[in-house]
């Protein structure tokens, strides 16, 4: 059995990527083969830069994914260009194109491109190529964010007509960026990179959008729920006795209840989440310290 997830190499690796990598690591631990697709051609079609630049960022991505817990000996890292330029791949893309409406393809496009008034033809081809990726990688399980569900449904509906198997799809939640206005994205600058220094992590969290008593679309609550609690099984709140004293939170329901009722102040939550993230990401920082060649791959800009 084979599981995969594809990533556009376009900038820093952040929590949004970390959620899917964690799921791939869980699946890998269960004995499933894992493929990570470093989607250089997809990034090129999505106007993320020249192929040479994209491939340099892809090498940084590979180091980050290993630092996050994927076993390098049991993970196959592939460029899209390794197989997407072969005639049989492009023939399957064309065959799928004859059986997919323009409206359906547009609904499956990347979120930003989907709202463009006049998208490039390349951006319409993108979701069809992504579906055919699954066939040519011969995968059984496709992992992605919930924003990938429309592409995954195209794959499940259209691949059998090409004589290919229908993949099982596993979707992870999307995390809001630090501003609380949109999903976390390296292009928007509203992210915490997994290799950020502790001082940077603390500063970003303390400035993050975190309205009192509101858990919906609250990024700091989301980071505690989806990043900290699954990794540490607890969130430790350090506060003075006059503010309620120390507190240990063990599950997301408890966290949400305490925050909604005002028994947990935003400042105390931010401080606790910041320290927990610093500890959780320590192995990533240690990896880059031990691998000087990996540090050299860090991108200086977002593509």
Q: What is the rounded (10 degree) CA torsion for 149, 151, 152, 153?
A: 90
Helices 121-136 and 87-97, packing angle to 10 deg: 120
- All CATH 1.10.240.10 domain ranges of the chain, comma separated, are 198-280
Please state, in angstroms and rounded to a whole number, the distance separating the CA atoms of residues 163 and 159: 7
- All CATH 3.40.50.620 domain ranges of the chain, comma separated, are 2-172
Closest CA to 63 of 303, 299, 294: 294
Residue 157: per-residue pLDDT:
94
Render each residue's pLDDT in the chain as its tens digit; 303 residues: 999 999 999 889 999 899 999 999 999 999 999 999 999 999 998 888 899 999 999 999 999 999 999 999 999 999 999 999 999 999 999 999 998 888 888 777 665 455 567 777 877 888 899 999 999 999 999 999 999 999 999 999 999 999 999 999 999 999 999 999 889 988 888 999 999 999 999 999 999 999 999 999 999 999 999 999 999 999 999 998 888 899 999 999 999 999 999 999 999 999 999 999 999 999 999 999 999 888 777 776 666
Helices 51-67 and 282-290, packing angle to 10 deg: 120
Superfamily of domain 198-280 in the CATH hierarchy: Tyrosyl-Transfer RNA Synthetase (1.10.240.10)
Phi, psi of 5 (to 5 degrees): -145, 145
Contact between 263 and 191 (Cβ < 8 Å): no
Please state, in angstroms and rounded to a whole number, the distance separating the CA atoms of residues 272 and 72: 32
Residue 179: per-residue pLDDT:
95
For 187-201, b where at least 16 C-beta lie within 10 A, e where not — what string? eeebbbbbbbeeeeb
Closest CA to 111 of 126, 100, 101, 99: 126
Instruction: Write the DSSP string, 237-273.
Output: E---GGGT--EEE-SHHHHHHHHHTTSS-HHHHHHHH
Q: Which CATH architecture has domain 2-172?
A: 3-Layer(aba) Sandwich (3.40)
Please state, in angstroms and rounded to a whole number, the distance separating the CA atoms of residues 258 and 264: 6
pTM of the model: 0.90
Residue 279's H or E segment, with its range, is helix 266-280
C-alpha distances (whole Å) from 157 to each of 89, 104, 130, 149, 223 are: 18, 12, 13, 12, 34
Closest CA to 17 of 153, 114, 143: 143
């Amino acid at each position: 059995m084979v599981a995969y997830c594809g990533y556009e190499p376009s900038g820093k690796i952040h929590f949004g990527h970390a959620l899917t990598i964690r799921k791939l690591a869980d699946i890998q631990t269960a004995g499933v083969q894992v493929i990570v697709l470093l989607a250089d051609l997809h990034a090129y079609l999505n106007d993320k830069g020249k192929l040479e630049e994209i491939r340099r960022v892809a090498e940084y991505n590979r180091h980050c994914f290993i630092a996050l817990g994927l076993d390098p000996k049991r993970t196959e890292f592939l460029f899209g260009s390794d197989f997407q330029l072969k005639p049989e791949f492009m023939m399957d893309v064309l065959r799928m194109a004859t059986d997919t409406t323009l409206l359906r393809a547009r609904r499956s496009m990347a979120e930003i491109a989907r709202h463009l008034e006049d998208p490039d033809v390349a951006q319409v081809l993108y979701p069809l190529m992504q579906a055919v990726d699954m066939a040519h990688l011969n995968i059984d399980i496709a992992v992605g964010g919930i924003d990938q569900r429309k592409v995954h449904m195209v794959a499940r509906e259209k691949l059998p007509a090409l004589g290919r198997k229908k993949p099982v799809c596993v979707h992870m939640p999307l995390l809001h960026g630090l501003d609380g206005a949109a999903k976390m994205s390296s292009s928007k600058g509203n992210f915490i990179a997994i290799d950020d220094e502790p001082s940077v992590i603390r500063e970003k969290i303390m400035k993050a959008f975190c309205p009192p008593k509101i858990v919906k679309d609250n990024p700091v609550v989301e980071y505690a729920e989806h990043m900290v609690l699954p990794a540490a099984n607890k969130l430790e709140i350090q506060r003075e006795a006059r503010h309620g004293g120390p507190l240990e939170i063990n599950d997301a329901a408890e966290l949400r209840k305490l925050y909604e009722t005002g028994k947990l102040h935003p400042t105390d939550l931010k401080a606790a989440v910041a320290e927990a993230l610093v500890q959780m990401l320590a192995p990533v920082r240690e990896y880059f310290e031990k691998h000087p060649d990996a540090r050299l791959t860090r991108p200086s800009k977002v593509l």
